[in-house]
Amino acid sequence: MSLTITCPICGKRDGYEFRFGGEDKGPRPDEDGLTPQSWCEYVHLNECVAGRQKEWWVHKDGCGSWFTIHRDSVMNVEVATPEAHK
Amino acid sequence: MFGKYKPLLGEKTQLKSSYDVVIIGGGLHSLATAYFLAKEHGITDVAIIEKNYIGFGGAGRNTAIVRANQRTQYNVPLYKEALDLWPVLTKDLDYNLMFNNCGNLNLMHSEAAMKAARMTIATAQFHGVESHLLDAKEAKELVPALNISEDITFPIHGAMFHPPGGIVRHDAVVWGLAKGASKYGVEIHQQTEATAVNTKNGKIVSVETSRGTINTSKVLISAGGYSASLIYGMLGIKLPISVLTIQAMVTQPLKPLLNHVVSSGAYHCYANQTLKGEIATGAHMDQWPNYTTQTTAHYIKHQAEALSEFLPCLRGLRFMRIWSGLADMTPDMAPILDGNDQIEGFFMNCGWGYFGFKSCTVAGKYMAEFMAKGEAPDMIKPFNLRRYEQHKLMGETAELVTYTPNN
Amino acid sequence: MVEIKRYSPVAFKASPKRTEVRDNWTVVLEYDGEGQAAFGQSNVNENYLVDLSHITRLDVQSSNLDAITPFGITIPQGLCESYLQDGVLINRMNRIQASVFCLSGKRPEMPTESSYTETTEVGMCMAIIGKDVFSITEKLTSLDFMDYAKTTPFLYQAPMSHIPCQIITLSRDGAKSGIIFTASRGYGKDMVHAIMDAGAEFGLKPAGEDKVKSWLNTL
Amino acid sequence: MINRINQLPTLRVDPANKVIFDYKGKDYVGVEGDTVATALYHNGVRIFGRSLKYHRPRGLYSLDGECSNTCMEIDGIPNVRTENTLVKQGMRVKEQNVKGSAENDMMGFIDKLDWMMPAGFYYKTMHKPASIWPIAMKQIRKAAGLGVLSPDFEMPGKFDQIFPSADVVVIGGGPAGMNAALAAADKGLRVIIMESRPWLGGFFDYRTFDYKDAQYKNSKPLYSRARELASKVESHANIRVFKHTSVVGTYTNNLVTGFQIGTENDKFNERYIEIRAKSVVVAAGCIERPLLFENNERPGVMQVACVHRLARTYGLLAGEKAIFSVGHDLGLEAAVDLFDLGMKILCVADVREDGQNPYLMIELAKRNIPYLKGWVASKAHGSKRVNKVTMTTLDGTISRDFECDLVIASAGLTPINGHLTLAHAKLRYDSHTNFFVADTMPEKTHAAGRMLGLEDSLSIEVSGKLAGLNAALDCKLMPQSYGNTEIDALKSEIDSFTAQSKELPGPARGSKFVTAPVKGRKSFICFDEDTTIKNIKQAIDMGFDVPELIKRFTSAGTGPGQGGIPGHNLPLYVAKYTAASSKCFSSSGSSSIQSLGATPKPTNVRPPLVPTLIATYAGSKHIMMKRTPMDEMQRADGGVFRKIGVWERARYFSDDFSCRKEIENVRNNVGMLDGSTLGKFRIHGPDALKVLQRVYVSDMSKVKTGRVKYSAMCNDDGCVIDDGVVVKLAENDYYFTTSTARAGATIEWLRYHTRFDGWDFYVVNLTDSMGVINLSGPNARKVLQKVVSQDNGASGEDASNKASIQDVSNEAFPFSGYKEFMIKNTIPVKAMRLGFVGELSYELHVPSSYMVSLWNIVKEAGKEFNIQNFGVEAQNVLRMEKCHIILGQESEQRTNLLDLGLGFLWDRSKKDAKTIGAVALRQAENDPTRFRLVGFEMENNGRAARDGALIVDDKVRGYVCTARDSFSLNKAVGMALVESHLAKVGTRIQIFEDECGGERIYGTVVPMPFYDPDGKRMKS
């Protein structure tokens, strides 16, 4: 495998220029109403999808942008579309 | 001397429509749990459901290194017991697990690391586990191939020497446990995929497989790297797990050169010599979730660069084969052993990261007790899932969590 | 009394032949043995490494970059595009950020708007010029400098010898080929070592600032 | 010594140029172009080594290094494939794994003990009683392994690396590969072609068979066609040729890795090559599938191309009297050609029923070479080398012995599929060719040539051309590349070649022969691991029915040559044997017999495809460390440096690692520390303050101009990840520092935690741009006063905001104050009054290029006070006495802000900021089970406990973070993280150190800080 990631600024680059930033869990929740469970869900829990998922990456050795891509975690390749959850 | 060649796992059987216990995953933890369920608790109506073949996953892809020099008091006794079990199991299973008690040398590359090692060593000694701190010269005397000069990326300051550790032949453990479990009547169904776990009123009722439905009231998912995905997919329970691909490789075989397991956290590298003479070395993880067991060009080069620095004689050797497996990492580098909580009759044993091999027997032993008695034994109580929402990470790693799976 | 001098993070083993003190920097214009001082026909087979760490660099950030014209020059619109005019090289880093290199070597009249931050000291800055530039860089990075989808000058923000850099390809035209790059200042010594090692088989040698000036004139 | 045929046009050696090398201490003579193996063969060496397990004699077999048979030690390097290594003047060559010599190995008797060692025997033996195992293990270790390496071995030679760019990479420089390269290059694309041999030409290179191309009126021999193609390729401007380059890995997204062996003219011995292509053509060709029969690896048994190439490429006739037992036309062709070169050929046995090239049959007949259809070699005789072979009909009913010195054996052909499968191609068994062929190809990857089963020369060339055009199309379809007209033209060209290729012969029918009719006790399916087909049967009988499992259980294919020898035969044999038996335990249920039994399943191939030196993979890696502007000056002052994170830092300034002098100097006088590694940032823009509110626990709206604010950043667990100071430069414009370790990830952290907010802010990392001098000690003010007094007053326009200052008194520049000024009208300084070490202390931030000058100015000003350097360790002790924490030292993963006693930094009122960590802190703040950071001193004037010692009772209750014998306080003090019930001042704590033998030492919890609790020294 050899992951490449398409940075919205720099284009397609070697995956090792990037750092993974987690499954996409949406915006940061408001503090009020967060229970230990819902806090834990946002901070620590993952769906661990074996298949395609939307996730965050930062181009750490490049332009520094944060962005999302869809990636197939079974093949470890970036994919264009989010569908086909296994 | 050897007699006729009998099938190791007994004759094939048909899948029944119900079992007392169904275990999803045919790896080491499942086999060990089934073995102890049968042997210690008399629960023999057990089906192991394996999509591929036994030992296909982490069981056959791991470092084969065993040790009990973990960081916290919750972990050390567990791993100590695991170490003590290898000779016992070799005897009980009548299968040579080939425990090579060569000792582990964990290199330290800074004053800060020496301090961390001191704490780990004190913890080990406090729990009656042998471990010692060596300076660089002593480490070199033990492992003459070490480069203790200053002109490398991470100069060696010293090492943690852990004599009780070593290497166990991982395939032998798979086959030995399978043989042992089958002897008691445990059924191992390979090439059989579990597709769903059904619950009713918060209780387990059945498991769907590619070969039909099985009624049961107790299900254990201990499917290594695949556990988190299965548990979420089948039961909707999310876990604080990131599944990463971890790689290892061997060189061509060589006459004895390394007599210990040598490892270095800073270089993300361990090396030891197998009984066959290969230098087995790993283990790097790409820091993003993966279910691929392919390898990367990046890593084999990285490994060569690292070994060139701290074991420079190995530059004259050739890499022969690189492979990979999955490690289900938790934020605190400690596993999740839980059950009868979210769903009655549902148990899970996962999150071992890259410690799944060295822990398999003891985890199986205590999970069997948990499932037989319905309540977690004290030894594994701290490893419950709720610790994360209670802000009680276990501290098995000192490193701070920033983004998953950066832990 | 301590003499006030500014030091580059980069030092060559070669000895300077001509120098000039500029804004407390001792700028080497030419090194011993670098051959014909001006870049041109006579040294088409040579490859040079030039320290430009003293040239003024600026970071400019704004949600409306179009409205900003460093030294009167428009910032290129396209991401990772560069533009060279009157010795000023402007590189579009992302939607809100650009870097500005004053290649003339003279300290310019500094803009006072808050969107600018001087970054001269943040990085080492060097030029590699000559016909084998890309044979040297291919030993240090996998970047495709000859990518035909790009037109010079263009910006790469990427690692070279494992260190994140800004690399601007100014020319890939045979002997006139050349790049200018910046990397964190602290890596100066090791970076030069890595580049000189990679360039050894191509006779890469240190050169003074004049070499870059004459090279820029050929572009 | 055998004579060389010197006049062949196909030769790749120069017989006129002798090469003298050392073999086992004696001089041997080869010629230029020889491999070590051919040179040794030329000199009469037939037994090259002994096998791993049974110590069977082994010799030349394939000439391509697919097994360990001919691995030797060369110039101290073990396991060198002599078949792939060119002989060089002065080389030192030795045998491996022998006791005595390869010719007379004292361990040879083990071969007779094979009955004791069935498949997997070691799992069932040597553990009863348990005490035997350690002894047995030692013997196993000694016996195992090929080659020897000394722990102090130093690898000679220069290793390099390149990451070239290309549009198309072609793997394989044979006829298909060369055609592919030319086709793509002619379309203007940048092509790299990689060939494992030192020349292009592939399997055309040594063949004199006629090349039949309609475009050429006169047919020409294949070797000259190969050379014609090679010269076109090598002179093409768009093609870069890497010869003597093995491809070792192929990965998704068209990443190809390999290594090249340097020639005399190259600056490297070997170099690592990694290429990210846009499209890949794999034209790797075939190797021969070994023929399985008794003693099938006895020296004197060789594959067809081995003997043929020995003759044609190296001018060496491998034997005098040869028997052929083959399964493909290349075997027949070799027989004809070798006959013409003077080899006596007793007979040619062919396992195929039909499908032979009639032309070759005529040529065989013309030469009166006996042809035995449906016969096969069943046993080679001769204890060390072949002297006789038994030939048998395929049903085993009729046998006949032939005396001979050479058995040329080859069951069929095996496509080299590794390049495809590594890149995720799925293989399926194709019964026509008896090959595993790619069912689904990796993206933008094209296969060509023999590996598709093609045997016809023209078909092979056209398939190459087609693959090259398809690769070109891949490139041109990429965004921004080419216009539609060009793409359409290319597509129609591809169509026409596709049509043309349909007219040509397709894949040839492959021989399905698996094994001679023997029991297989000495029929070796894997040479490296001495695995016989009997072993395979044993494994299957035990229930291991999947080739991959059998591989594990029997070790077949896990040796130095990996799957090269058994890769094809193992699945075929397993399929054949399992189909015949029904003992597969895993195939429960009715559907899986077919999938596990009759259809061969390939085993996994793993990188590297060719064993590759660790030195080669490492290439020319450089250590990249950061140095501060004061690096050299501190070294000159005797600094002892350590690599800490990405930086080289001065940790000590003497070899007294207790740093007593450094510490006392700071406490009593004045010292200077290089703090340049601190992270430094500017954040500005309309939403800058909002960002600070998000990441810092304090209320950052309260930062006052001219003051520094100390605060901390937490992660979502509430654990402290960073601390530093913030300075307000203007409205929504701040300068802030971070810890050294966090500098690299800070901007990323800020952007991550605001990624959904759409805020407008700008951050600049200024870490390297500012050097930092920490000037500390009671005399620090005097030194600073002298430094600033040297100024000649403010000058002109800068005066407004960067004037020089004259007054650094406590009133003018108080604790927590911030000032900007110029030194000597030239050096701009950002100055802060801080007190990390607990003394009067200034942090001077100045542009890095001026740092050396300022360092000298400060030193000169401090001369009269005898100012001294101090290093990171002295700072560590000084700040510990003051109970200032260092993250990672007084904290770990479990430690949150409150545990550290830093709760005062946290502003709970800014919920709207959604401050990172606030929720976790709130939820955990009343948890009594958490650790607390406490100060302690040792009882009875005892020495300090070692860092990392445990706090215990009957359980572990915490640990010592940092403890030292304090020179300032004259007692041993430290900080520890302990369970909260031990945190009360006055609590006695038991300390358990490593190697204490159960002997505990004791301390008492005391108030913090230990030193200057009121902060008078720091603040006045």
- Closest by CA to D669, choosing from D870, D812, D883, is D870
Average pLDDT of every residue of chain D: 93
Residues D585 and D661 in one domain: no
Residues B251 and B319 in one domain: yes
Tens-place pLDDT, residues D375-385? 999 999 999 99
Distance CA C113, CA C107 (A): 17
**Cβ–Cβ gap A64/C94 under 8 Å:** yes
Question: Where residue B407 falls among pLDDT bands split at 50, 70, 90?
Answer: very low
Chain A residue closest in CA terms to C92: A9
Neighbours of C20 (CB within 10 A): 13
pLDDT at D899 over 90: yes
Tens-place pLDDT, residues A2-49? 999 999 999 999 999 999 999 999 999 999 999 999 999 999 999 999
The burial of D430, by beta-carbon neighbours within 10 Å (0-12 exposed, 13-18 middle, 19 or more buried), is given as middle
Residues D499 and D533 in one domain: no
Residues D83 and D18 in one domain: yes
- Domain range enclosing D593: 524-598
pLDDT at D800: 44
Question: Where residue D584 falls among pLDDT bands split at 50, 70, 90?
Answer: very low
Please indicate if any CB of chain B lies within 8 Å of the CB of A75: yes
pLDDT at D591: 33
pLDDT at D792 over 80: no
Shortest Cα–Cα distance, B252 to chain A (Å) = 23
Assigned domain for A55 exists:
yes
Residues D390 and D357 in one domain: yes
Residues D269 and D186 in one domain: yes
**Cβ–Cβ gap B389/A3 under 8 Å:** no
pLDDT at C90: 98
A39: which chain B residues are within 8 Å (Cβ-Cβ)?
389
pLDDT at D302 over 90: yes
Which among D410, D439, D461 is the end of a domain?
A: D410
Instruction: For chain D, give the percent of residues with pLDDT over 70.
Output: 96
Distance CA D838, CA D859 (A): 21
CATH node for C36-54+122-218: 3.30.1360.120
Tell me which of D148, D750, D893 to substitute to probe the interface with B (most B C-beta atoms closer than 10 Å): D893
Please report where in the chains the tokens 């498949």 appear, as a residue: D119
pLDDT at C40: 67
Assigned domain for B85 exists:
no
Residues B378 and B231 in one domain: yes
Distance CA D957, CA D949 (A): 11
Assigned domain for D897 exists:
no
Domain CATH number, residue D498:
3.50.50.60
Shortest Cα–Cα distance, D857 to chain C (Å) = 6
D733: which chain C residues are within 8 Å (Cβ-Cβ)?
114
Task: Assess contact for D796 and D859: CB atoms under 8 A.
Answer: no
List of E strands, D716-840 = 720-730, 733-738, 762-765, 770-776, 818-823, 827-834
For chain D, positions 162-201, list CB contacts with chain C under 8 A. Answer: 162-165, 190
Please name the member of D160, D274, D764 whose beta carbon is closest to the beta carbon of C117: D764
Shortest Cα–Cα distance, C42 to chain D (Å) = 25
Shortest Cα–Cα distance, A51 to chain D (Å) = 16
Chain D residue closest in CA terms to A60: D748
Please indicate if any CB of chain B lies within 8 Å of the CB of A66: no
**Cβ–Cβ gap A77/D253 under 8 Å:** yes
pLDDT at D583 over 50: no
Residues D372 and D311 in one domain: yes
Instruction: For chain C, give the percent of residues with pLDDT over 70.
Output: 97
**Cβ–Cβ gap B322/D608 under 8 Å:** yes
- Tell me phi and psi for residue D863, to 5 degrees: -55, -45
pLDDT at D125 over 80: yes
Tens-place pLDDT, residues D426-474? 999 999 999 999 999 999 999 999 999 999 999 999 999 999 999 999 9
pLDDT at D97: 85
Task: Assess contact for C171 and C219: CB atoms under 8 A.
Answer: yes
Which chains neighbour D (Cβ–Cβ under 8 Å, 3 or more pairs)?
Answer: A, B, C
Shortest Cα–Cα distance, C141 to chain D (Å) = 6
Question: Where residue D537 falls among pLDDT bands split at 50, 70, 90?
Answer: very high
Task: For D504-517, give one letter per residue: b (16+ CB within 10 A) or e.
Answer: eebbbbbbbbbbbe
Question: Where residue A77 falls among pLDDT bands split at 50, 70, 90?
Answer: very high
Shortest Cα–Cα distance, C79 to chain A (Å) = 6
Shortest Cα–Cα distance, A84 to chain D (Å) = 19
D276 sits in which H/E element: strand D270-276
Shortest Cα–Cα distance, B227 to chain A (Å) = 9
Assigned domain for A86 exists:
no
Chain A residue closest in CA terms to D274: A2
Please name the member of B116, B123, B133 whose beta carbon is closest to the beta carbon of D956: B123
Assigned domain for D902 exists:
no
**Cβ–Cβ gap B389/A40 under 8 Å:** yes
Instruction: For chain B, give the percent of residues with pLDDT over 70.
Output: 97
Please name the member of A16, A22, A74 whose beta carbon is closest to the beta carbon of B403: A22
- Domain range enclosing A55: 4-79
Residues D109 and D232 in one domain: no
Number of domains in chain A: 1
Residues D741 and D783 in one domain: no
Which chains neighbour A (Cβ–Cβ under 8 Å, 3 or more pairs)?
Answer: B, C, D
Chains C and B touch (3+ CB pairs under 8 A): no
Residues B253 and B156 in one domain: yes
pLDDT at D371 over 60: yes
Assigned domain for A75 exists:
yes
Question: Where residue D585 falls among pLDDT bands split at 50, 70, 90?
Answer: very low
D79: which chain B residues are within 8 Å (Cβ-Cβ)?
252, 254, 317-318
**Cβ–Cβ gap B406/A36 under 8 Å:** no
The burial of D269, by beta-carbon neighbours within 10 Å (0-12 exposed, 13-18 middle, 19 or more buried), is given as middle
- Domain range enclosing B229: 21-62+171-240+332-387
pLDDT by 10-residue block (mean), chain C, 219 residues:
92 94 95 78 81 97 95 95 96 97 90 96 97 97 94 97 98 94 98 97 95 92
Distance CA D220, CA D551 (A): 45
Which chains neighbour B (Cβ–Cβ under 8 Å, 3 or more pairs)?
Answer: A, D
Hey, what are D936's tokens? 């302690």
Radius of gyration of chain A (CA): 14
Assigned domain for A27 exists:
yes
Assigned domain for D140 exists:
no
Domain CATH number, residue B213:
3.50.50.60
Question: Where residue B224 falls among pLDDT bands split at 50, 70, 90?
Answer: very high
Number of domains in chain B: 2
pLDDT at D368 over 90: yes
Domain CATH number, residue A25:
3.30.2270.10
Which chains neighbour C (Cβ–Cβ under 8 Å, 3 or more pairs)?
Answer: A, D
Tens-place pLDDT, residues C143-165? 999 998 899 999 999 999 999 99
Chain D residue closest in CA terms to B294: D422
Please indicate if any CB of chain C lies within 8 Å of the CB of D682: yes
Instruction: For chain B, give the percent of residues with pLDDT over 90.
Output: 92
Tell me which of D158, D167, D626, D804 to substitute to probe the interface with C (most C C-beta atoms closer than 10 Å): D626
pLDDT at B399: 80
**Cβ–Cβ gap D252/A28 under 8 Å:** no
Average pLDDT of every residue of chain C: 94
Please indicate if any CB of chain C lies within 8 Å of the CB of A25: no
**Cβ–Cβ gap D716/A43 under 8 Å:** yes
Assigned domain for B37 exists:
yes
Assigned domain for D782 exists:
yes
For chain D, positions 164-203, list CB contacts with chain B under 8 A. Answer: none
**Would you call the peptide bond into D16 cis, given omega within 30 degrees of 0 as the criterion?**
no
**Cβ–Cβ gap A17/C159 under 8 Å:** yes
Please indicate if any CB of chain C lies within 8 Å of the CB of A59: yes
Residues D759 and D779 in one domain: no
Domain CATH number, residue D814:
3.30.1360.120
Tell me which of B210, B321, B329 to substitute to probe the interface with D (most D C-beta atoms closer than 10 Å): B321
Distance CA C128, CA C175 (A): 11
Tell me the average pLDDT across D505-528. Answer: 94
Residues D663 and D775 in one domain: yes
Residues B213 and B254 in one domain: no
Assigned domain for D980 exists:
yes
Size of interface A-D (CB pairs under 8 A): 59
Assigned domain for D38 exists:
yes
Q: Where are the domains of chain C?
A: 36-54+122-218, 57-118
Please name the member of B5, B175, B397 whose beta carbon is closest to the beta carbon of D893: B397
Residues B115 and B150 in one domain: yes
Question: Where residue D805 falls among pLDDT bands split at 50, 70, 90?
Answer: confident
Residues D18 and D104 in one domain: yes
Number of domains in chain D: 7
Please name the member of B53, B316, B331 whose beta carbon is closest to the beta carbon of D549: B53
Assigned domain for B74 exists:
no
Please indicate if any CB of chain D lies within 8 Å of the CB of B295: yes
Tens-place pLDDT, residues B13-35? 889 999 999 999 999 999 999 99
Tell me the average pLDDT across D995-1014. Answer: 96
Please indicate if any CB of chain A lies within 8 Å of the CB of C77: no
Tens-place pLDDT, residues B95-124? 999 999 999 999 999 999 999 999 999 999
Please indicate if any CB of chain C lies within 8 Å of the CB of A66: no
Residues D444 and D458 in one domain: yes
Distance CA C133, CA C131 (A): 6
Residues of A at the D interface (Cβ-Cβ below 8 Å)?
Answer: 1-4, 14, 19, 21, 26-32, 34, 36, 39, 42-43, 56, 58, 60, 64-66, 75-77
Residues B192 and B252 in one domain: no
Shortest Cα–Cα distance, A47 to chain D (Å) = 19
Task: Assess contact for D1 and D43: CB atoms under 8 A.
Answer: yes
Residues B200 and B149 in one domain: no
Neighbours of B81 (CB within 10 A): 16
